[in-house]
Amino acid sequence: MKKKLRVVVLMGGRSSEREISLLSGKEILANIDKNAYSVSSVEIPKNGNKWIDQLLRLKPNLVFIALHGTFGEDGSIQGMLEQLGISYTGSGILASAIGMDKILFKKIMRTEKIPVPKDISYIPCFVKPNGEGSSVGASPVFKQNMLKPAIKLAKKFSDDVLVEEYIKGIELTCAVIGNEDPVALPVIEIHPLKAKFFDYKSKYKINASEEIVPAGISKNMAKKVQELSIKVYKIIGCSGFARVDFILKDNKYPIVLEINTIPGLTKMSLVPKAAKSAGISFSKLIDKIIHYAI
């Protein structure tokens, strides 16, 4: 009988996205193929390092990283696991670090002639912290008296803050899976129902947004977004899976907002929805992510 691969799901962590990480971890544990893998989990607490001993005692063949945000998605945990000689899912240290650093990411995109929002100093604008995901600390600004509070909010999460042009258009996202020859999943169109943009509540609260998959855009535009997503994925050097977020300006110009190198895998999350539209079950998606890691 073939020996099962020992997989440890690593979740929790110290970032502002801790609760989402726990939900992602829970869904992975519920949907992973128990016949193929020997599965356990380790929750990283808000403080302390005892979890490292717990992880080492489990002797994993592979760690499935279900951490989002700082210390999970920024190359930190990836570097630690490489020091320990433990394989892990998703992108490596460099791609993770670049994906989390929005300022550096935009500089690289501009060098590669990929359209990204302009940095501005006037209203209307969009303010966000440099090193957070899930739209944490981000806010649109339509009046001058909104700018200082928006910057103050963003600075709670990062020392560096981005002030970008406010682009009106359709919000799109496209997941990419694979390593050397990545594949783009169906594009998703997003309509927040109770907010001016796809904020934290819109992402994780039931009935807070409408998500259309495949997106209600032309086939040519969908193909363009998919090709652009794969290009961004390759430029950054991603592996396993990631999700590229866009705003479609004037129904003609897809503008890259950011890349998420460990997108959410909760019941509400976009990557599982895109996979389902492509005929890939949650269990099969997890299997593919593990396969790409080994």
Q: Cα 26 to the chain's mean position, in Å?
A: 17
Q: Which of 166, 200, 204, 233 is catalytic?
A: 204
Q: Which of 41, 96, 202, 260 is catalytic?
A: 260
Q: Which of 69, 101, 245, 269 is catalytic?
A: 245
Is 245 considered catalytic here? yes
Long-range contacts of 23-26 (CB under 8 A, 24+ apart): 23/204, 23/264, 23/266, 23/267, 24/66, 24/68, 24/264, 24/265, 24/266, 24/269, 25/66
Q: Which of 16, 91, 264, 269 is catalytic?
A: 264
Q: Which of 16, 17, 137, 164 is catalytic?
A: 17
Is 160 considered catalytic here? no
Is 132 considered catalytic here? no
Q: Which of 135, 240, 258, 269 is catalytic?
A: 258
Is 260 considered catalytic here? yes
Is 134 considered catalytic here? yes
Q: Which of 41, 202, 243, 269 is catalytic?
A: 243
Q: Which of 134, 158, 202, 229 is catalytic?
A: 134
Contact 158, 137 (CB under 8 A): yes
- Sheet of 62-65: strand order equals 37-44, 5-12, 62-65, 87-88
Of the CA atoms within 13 Å of residue 222, those in its CB half-sphere come to 15
Q: How many residues does the chain have?
A: 294
Is 227 considered catalytic here? no
Select from 198, 196, 176 the least CA-distant residue to 186: 176
Is 258 considered catalytic here? yes
Is 15 considered catalytic here? no
Please list the active-site residues. 17, 134, 204, 243, 245, 258, 260, 264
